Structure 1
Amino acid sequence: MAHTFDLFGTLVRAATPDDPARAVAKELAARDVAVPDDWARAYGEVHIDAPEGAEVPLPAHVAAALRDRGVDVPANAARRAVVAAFDPDVETVEGARAAVAAAAERGPVAVCSNCSVPELAARTLIRADLERDAFDAVVTSVACGWRKPDTRLFEATARTLGVAPDSLTHVGDDPRTDGGVEAVGGRFVDVADVPLATFPDWLEGR
């Protein structure tokens, strides 16, 4: 049996920019990138034709939006700007550490998270004092290329853990996305029904 945990909204609460386009624009300007006058509109448009279920890394989206407006993007400037714009304040959810530890007593454990910003998941885990070595794997959509509820993210997580997808028990806060584990035969545990603080007791009762 393997357990996977959603990160944002489940293990942690992370403050994100109220206006992402403005936050990214500020960081682009700090790196001497000319921000288009209609940046808010450009940021909100689709610039990369991705298949359904695919994750478009936010730096790739930002770079494509700038190119669409005729702005040359210096090497890696879009990535650095996005990473800086999404530098989070993090609050660890009550019971998160104990829940992960209880799951680890029963088999491999992974983070399985939708996240389009490189480095964000790793930085968040550090700030939440949830060390990466508490997990056997940290699998994000930006690294995998697919977003929950697409089954390919769950399948990739299972492969990384060396288990069958239908052996996964996935703990999350959003039935629309985290509930996608059921399509591979796994089990979804909604923290609205089983809060992390009671998760160890829930495991004991299984």
Structure 2
Amino acid sequence: MTIKCVLFDFSGTLFRVESTGSWLRAVLAEAEVTLTEAELTRSAAELEAVGALPGGAVPVRPLPAELAEVWRRRDESAAAHRAAFTGASRQVSLPDPALHEALYDRHMRPAAWRPYPDAAEVLAALRERGIAVGVVSNIGWDLRPVFRAHGLDPYVGAYVLSYEHGIQKPDVRLFAAACEALGTEPGSTLMVGDDRRSDAGAAALGCAVHFVDHLPVASRPDGLRPVLDLIG
């Protein structure tokens, strides 16, 4: 197979969101709310357990039944995404109820995200080789400002975001939309992601698929470089 296009997932693939503790600490500081270190640590652990940070840990504590459906379809619209994650956050008691919305807003800021160390290098190398690049993400908000703020936007030819299409991976229509936007065929496209279920949906369309590990930025310095070997 000759690869002419590479599609990337966003969270856990090209970028990693800040830790739950850093996320909570930033919002508390901005709101001028003070917690003891023990209280902050406990609240961060509880938020992580319910999966309240988008792009962070998956829930390990069961969510209420009334959240189940909106959680399942959370990436199909901006409203569902906000409702799902603020609903999860509200399972944790915080000093001010307004903090739940503030936490959601914080995760959409470029400062909450860091690119993996080799992301710019790999994207630049693909561009030099004439390989089309797209981003296909299950998400409920516009991630383009994150790419612009971190200098990666010039390498991306198309963004295909679930909430803008009303469908989410592994639905093949999302990958098909990306191929169409970039003028490429699935048979010459490689999908790179960290989710063995969602990103694997590209294979049903005929794309090759390569997985990376969803690790902290410091723990994965060169996880994207093998993509360059795959395209030859």
Q: Is the TM value for this pair above 0.5? A: yes
* AA of the residue aligned to 1:186: C
Does the residue aligned with 1:112 lie in a helix, a strand or coil? strand
The answer (yes or no) to whether the contact 2:169–2:199 under 8 Å persists in 1 is yes
Structure 2: how far apart are the matches of 1:151 and 1:126? 27
Contact 1:14 1:91 in 2 (8 A): yes
1:153 paired to 2:177 = no
Give CA deviations for 1:118-164 in whole Å, capped at 9, x if unaligned: 22x1122133321x221111111111221111111101111111222
- What value does the CA root-mean-square deviation take over the aligned residues? 3.8
Alignment of 1:1-206 (within 5 A): 1-15=4-18, 55-60=75-80, 62=82, 84-86=105-107, 87=109, 88-104=111-127, 105-116=129-140, 118-119=141-142, 121-130=143-152, 132-192=153-213, 195-204=223-232
| 1:99 Cα deviation after fit | 1.4
Secondary structure of 1:176 counterpart: coil
C-alpha deviation, 1:16, in angstroms: 6.9
Q: Post-superposition shift, 1:106? A: 3.7
Alpha-carbon contact 2:138-2:162 (below 8 Å) kept: yes
Q: CA deviation at 1:180?
A: 1.0
| Change over 3 Å in CA distance of 1:17–1:57 after alignment to 2 | farther
Partner Cα distance (2:138, 2:194) in 1: 12
1:173–1:190: 8 Å Cα contact kept in structure 2?
A: yes
CA distance, structure 2, for counterparts of residue 172 and residue 61 of structure 1: 20
Structure 1 window deviating more from structure 2 (56-65 vs 178-187): it is 56-65
Segments of structure 1 that go 5 or more residues without pairing to the other structure are 27-42, 67-79
The unaligned stretches of length 5 or more in structure 2 are 29-51, 53-62, 88-100, 214-221
Aligned residues: 173
Amino acid at match of 2:223: P
Over the matched positions of the two proteins, sequence identity in percent amounts to 28
Matched AA of 1:5: F
The structural deviation recorded for 1:111 is 0.9
What SS class does the counterpart of residue 76 from structure 2 fall into? Answer: coil
- Secondary structure of 1:196 counterpart: coil
TM-score by length of 2: 0.59
